[in-house]
Amino acid sequence: MAKPLLGLLVWLFATTQALALEFSHYHSQVDIDSYLLQMARERPELVHFHHLGSSEQGRPINYLVISRGDPENLPAIFLNGTHHGDERASTETVLGLIDFLILNHQSPQLKELLSSYAIYLQPLVNPDGFALGTRFDARGFDPNRDYAFPGRSEEDSFKTKPIRLVKELVSSMRFRAALAFHSGMEGVLWAWAHTADRAPDHDLYYTLAKLTAGAMAMPRYVQSYHDYPALGEFIDFVYMNYGTLALTVEVANEPSPPARELAGVVRRAIGGSVAFMLAILELDRGQLRIEHQATSASTTWPASIPPAKIATTRGRQGGGASPLSR
């Protein structure tokens, strides 16, 4: 790990800045939207509120942009949660990140990060599923199987309104990097999910995933396909179409762990997320040491945790449920 990044992590967990939001309970959509608007009103020089659109059932889909510079003139990083409505730990993770970045934006490390990138944060990709307590959207489709991939055109994809909205955003922004938060296992995954072939940036992905997982004290980091194959995932679509360096970060073994565990889950995910963003900054400055993955994919899993049973199709593709998330 590069020294500046190591220094960031030491600072991160030693900082005395407590989170302003309470993570002793889960937040409702009303709580979330009120908080986003409040942060934009209180910090207009730093935080910008945007309404992306509405869900099938008319629920608002909003996001924030946090940056110390002009967002229009900076490369952007996208962090999103709740592709699956019942994975509420992913929602809380994005809220925790918003809170943390705002509270600590004057620290040397985050000042540099927020001066270099515009950070887009979307807590609720799938608000209907969130309200209904289900993985799926209001019509029973799995949003994270609705993106185009080789073998299925864009015309045959994007059947869910929230994912059409995400597509509009990623198409317009062409993000430099992204994290899609999920919960239902603990680990960090990278493209490709639809094929065992290695991505062109496989070693870079391996390096980023290893750093992110290490900051979260998670032993799992693997190409997504070797977790289990899946068609139509966010990380494949944005990397294939825009070159976005995107990871899936699974923050907790349960979709919605007990509230008493939530603060720890959020804090750990913040550490991994900031480590990832600082690694992107090092990469863009030519300072990141990229590791070569010479071993097989299975060696990035602890021996006590076997890879999941392969499940190639789920949700709108049909098929049974996986024991994991994504």
Residues whose CB falls within 8 Å of the CB of residue 299, separated by 6 or more in sequence, listed in order? none
The number of beta carbons lying within 10 Å of the beta carbon of residue 307 is 15
- For 71-123, what is each residue's pLDDT tens digit? 999 999 999 999 999 999 999 999 999 999 999 999 998 999 999 999 999 99
Please tell me the distance from the alpha carbon of residue 187 to that of residue 261, in angstroms, as a whole number: 17
Architecture of domain 29-292+300-317: 3-Layer(aba) Sandwich (3.40)
At residue 326 the predicted structure's pLDDT band, cuts being 50, 70 and 90, is confident
pLDDT tens for residues 166-213?
999 999 999 999 999 999 999 999 999 999 999 999 999 999 999 999
Taking alpha carbons only, the member of 233, 175, 179 closest to residue 211 is 179
Beta strands in the chain (DSSP E): 47-54, 60-66, 76-81, 118-122, 177-182, 185-190, 221-223, 245-252
Bridge-based pairing state of the strands 221-223 and 76-81: unpaired
pLDDT at res. 20: 81
pLDDT in the model for residue 294: 72
Residue 213 C-alpha from the chain's centroid: 13
